[in-house]
Structure 1
Amino acid sequence: MRPRLETLAATVAMALALQGCSLAPTYKAPTLDLPAQYREQTSDGPWHLANPAQQISTQWWQLYQDPRLNDLQQQLLKANPDLAAALAHFDAAQAYAGQLHAGLFPQITASAQPLRQRQSEDKPLRGSNQPSVYNSNTAGFALNFDLDLWGRIRNQVAAGDAQAQASGDDLASARLSLQQQLATLYIQLNGLDAQSTILASSLDDYGQALQLTRDRYEGAIASELDLTRAQSQLAEAQAQLDDVRAQRNLTEHAIGELVGEPASVFQLKASNQPLGLPSIPGALPSTLLQRRPDISAAERRVFAANANIGVARAAWYPDFSLTGLLGGQTAGSGSLLAAGNRYWALGPLVNLPIFDGGRLDANERQAKAEFEEAAAHYRSQVLRAVREVEDNLAQLRDLKREAGDEQAAVDAAQHTQTLAMNSYEAGAVNYLDVVTAQTSALQAQLRLQTLQTRQLQASVGLVVALGGGWNGGS
């Protein structure tokens, strides 16, 4: 008996010595040759490198200093069903990781089996003095502990933890995406309200001009052509206002869906308060790799795929586990705990693959291919993130220049409109000149307002592309 116990003890000692063994490749995050700075520059020069300690701002939309937008964002966090689904998915991923962690510990089960049973009279090797009907009461404990000599379970746990972390990043990415959609739609709604104000003001002007033309027509000063031109201009402006209102309804419905309210009941009153464009600091940190949750999720999936290679490799080696039984059994009478009724067993169990038709080799090749796939996705995500920052920086730069030019066009068109109306009242020009000037002024104002909306939306895109603002406190 003693030599057997010594052999068992030696087996356990060897297993403990090998607990640190892992067949997964040494992990290195995929590398990507990126420039030290972005091509698009701010007013004070190129961006600087990031501080890795910076974190995502959880309320980046406060950059726009709009209480109503803040309220809508809070409502989105509480009631958006897509966000609730992403949260549930994250909880499930964490629970699955917890299941994998259980494999690191011994598994102990208890069982009890009180039986009344009958055996066949023709049972092979049955003794003549054995009863046909008898009781059999059994209770005991069973133990199984996988010694995990090659790190299979530990790599499964590492992969599960990384997948749970990636799921958490997916949740953050979904939250950021929904917040971006809401901010973009809100800016669009605000812009449509501004266009409605511009068109309503133009309608008043056109109405007054139509009345003036009608009076002049009735006084035989203006022609019927002037009158119909004034009527057509007023009707066209009214049609534009109707179209803006139709677009606003659709935008309002989309916002209601995002914040978890039916479009039938959700309403937002028109706002005449313009949103201010956030001031972008002269030196912005390149925080993509540190702060963007989609990139973090992609990196965690690369790590998980690397760990899964270790799982696949470990399957080639013997699997050692420790099994044990302890309990008692009686024939219906006596104590299960009595010394004579006890049973026990303890020993190692070894499983070694001999022939599997190439399954293990295919599993390892699959794990390596999945690692390459995850690494490629990671590189793609980084490149996409860089492009998104460059795109929005370029948009902000170009739209700012375009808006400045359009503002000059608005000023000139409004001055031309005033000159045309004064000249028409003095009889120096016909009404066609007035219509042309008023139409040009209106379209210039609408284009300027559209550019301002696009600037705001580009700033939202830049905020999100950076992972949530310029710094942790934004």
Structure 2
Amino acid sequence: MSAEGLMGPFALNDPAAGTTGPWYTNGTFGLTAGWHLDIWGKNRAEVTARLGTVKARAAEREQTRQLLAGSVARLYWEWQTQAALNTVLQQIEKEQNTIIATDRQLYQNGITSSVEGVETDINASKTRQQLNDVAGEMKIIEARLNALTNHQTKSLKLKPVTLPKVASQLPDELGYSLLARRADLQAAHWYVESSLSTIDAAKAAFYPDINLMAFLQQDALHLSDLFRHSAQQMGVTAGLTLPIFDSGRLNANLDIAKAESNLSIASYNKAVVEAVNDVRGRPARFRHWRRKTSIRRKLSTMPCVW
């Protein structure tokens, strides 16, 4: 019964049995729209936090890609270095075999004693041992490259190439502005930004929520009346949510957000310190390597006495 005292269909008795009963239909279709008034910026803060997390994970993926590419390049040139060393050792072994053959010929002719060729035989044995070690190291590097490049089913076909001449020179000082390009610091930075936005969203949750909703629909008890003007309905409603009895949960969420933010900031500070130490140490290691290589080259150019 309506507010005007009018009886609706089947208000007093059920529909007659037969093809039209004892059942009836109810049809409804329409449009509903809602608007959440983000007065306190809760939704904006949550979106910013999610975007920060997405950017941080993208930076982590880039860091992983850089580490993988660097590892593959380093192992490749390490393999080429071992291949070059293998070539040099083969040349040395060939020369040593020539000397051994000459010593044996001199001994057979009675010119020298057998003791004089012992040292050469020992050196040749050491060279063969070094060749075996280099071959084993090359196999290990190939296995690691297969794992990094996902070539488990088939082995890599590496060919020795000429080692490039390194003509680059690092500056005496590396500015800290280069730190901003590191993917690990970018990831840590975006995690901090995301955590700060999460705190803002947790604080905004303490304030009232206001929602607006509007609807336009056709509602009829009989499907034949669904498209009549009398079945049309429309309206606008407003909702207000007050977190009066939810302070415990909201305070806990805020404490968790602050703790996670402090952890993100601490992780960022640690990453910055490690990056600074890395930037400081790399030039020193590079110069030490250059001096060591220069000394080796000078020693290799000195005449050898057999």
Fold similarity call, TM over 0.5: yes
Aligned equivalent of 1:74: none
Q: Structure 1 CA distance, aligned partners of 2:206 and 2:171?
A: 57
1:205 paired with 2:95, answer yes
Instruction: Quote the residue 1:230 is aligned against.
Output: 120
1:187 aligns with 2:71: no
Post-superposition offset of 1:251? 1.4
Alpha-carbon shift at residue 128 of structure 1 (Å): 2.1
Measured in 1, the distance between the counterparts of 2:238 and 2:104 equals 106
Q: Which residue is 1:104 aligned to?
A: none
Aligned counterpart, 1:128: 12
| Residue 255 of structure 1: aligned partner | 145
**2:130 alignment partner in structure 1:** 240
Structure 1 382/375 Cα, relative in aligned 2: closer, same or farther at 3 Å? same
2:176 and 2:276 in contact (8 A); partners too: no
Shift of 1:202: 0.7
Offset of 1:397 from its aligned partner? 1.3
Deviations 1:39-70 (A, max 9, x none): xxxxxxxxxxxxxxxxxxxxxxxxxxxxxxxx
Kindly state the Cα deviation for residue 335 of structure 1 after the two structures are TM-superposed.
4.2
Q: Could you say which structure has the greater relative contact order, defined with CA pairs below 8 angstroms and 6 or more residues apart? A: 2
* CA deviation vs aligned residue, 1:143-191 (integer Å, no higher than 9, x gap): 2221112111100111111122222222221221112112211221121
TM-score w.r.t. structure 1 length? 0.57
Aligned with residue 277 of structure 1, among 158, 161, 166: 166
What displacement does 1:383 show? Answer: 1.4
Equivalent residue for 2:180? 290
Q: CA deviation at 1:367?
A: 0.7
- Residue type matched to 1:344 in 2? M
What is the distance in 1 between the residues matched to 2:146 and 2:167? 25
Could you report, residue by residue, the CA deviation over 1:209-228 in whole angstroms, capped at 9, with x for unpaired residues?
11122112223343334444
Two-structure CA RMSD over aligned residues (Å): 2.2
TM-score, reference length from structure 2: 0.86
Residue aligned with 2:13, SS: coil
Instruction: Structure 1 unaligned segments of length 5 or more: list them.
Output: 1-125, 422-474
Q: Secondary structure at the match of 2:223?
A: coil
Say if 1:177 and 1:152 are closer, same or farther in 2 by CA, change over 3 A: same
Residue 333 (structure 1) aligns with = 223
Tell me what 2:104 maps to. Answer: 214
Please report how far the alpha carbon of residue 203 of structure 1 lies from its aligned counterpart in structure 2 after TM superposition: 0.3
Report the alpha carbon displacement of residue 278 of structure 1 after superposing the two structures with TM: 4.1
**Aligned match of 2:272 in 372, 382, 390?**
382
Deviations 1:234-261 (A, max 9, x none): 2221121121112112212323333343
User: Is the 1:254–1:263 contact (alpha carbons within 8 Å) kept by the matching residues of 2?
Assistant: no
**1:353 counterpart SS class:** coil
| Counterpart-to-counterpart distance in 1, 2:142 and 2:171 | 35
Local SS of the residue matching 2:107: helix
Distance 1:216 1:195, change over 3 A: same
Task: Give 2:13's aligned amino acid.
Answer: N
**TM-superposed deviation, 1:349:** 1.0
Distance 2:165 2:107 in 1: 46
Give runs of aligned pairs for residues 27-426 of structure 1, distance below 5 A. 127-131=11-15, 132-262=22-152, 264-271=154-161, 273-280=162-169, 282=171, 285-356=175-246, 358-412=248-302, 415=303, 417-418=304-305, 421=306
- Percent of counterpart pairs with the same letter? 26
Aligned CA distance change for structure 1 residues 318 and 170 (closer, same or farther; 3 Å): same
For the residue of structure 2 that corresponds to 1:134, the secondary structure is: coil
In structure 2, relative to structure 1, the CA distance for the partners of 1:357 and 1:153 (3 Å cut) is closer
Contact 1:253 1:263 in 2 (8 A): no
CA distance in 1, matches of 2:44, 2:204: 11
Number of residue pairs matched? 290
* C-alpha distance in structure 1 between counterparts of 2:272 and 2:300, whole Å: 41
Q: Which residue of 2 aligns with 1:470?
A: none
Q: Please say if residues 302 and 375 of structure 1, whose CA atoms lie closer than 8 Å, have aligned partners that are also in contact.
A: yes
* In structure 1, distance between residues paired with 2:279 and 2:223: 80
8 A Cα contact 2:26 2:222, kept in partner: yes
| Alpha-carbon distance in structure 2 between the residues aligned to 1:410 and 1:289 | 39
Match of 2:3 in 1: none
Q: Which moved more, 1:199-208 or 1:211-220?
A: 211-220
Consecutive unaligned residues in structure 2, runs of 5 or more = 1-9, 16-21
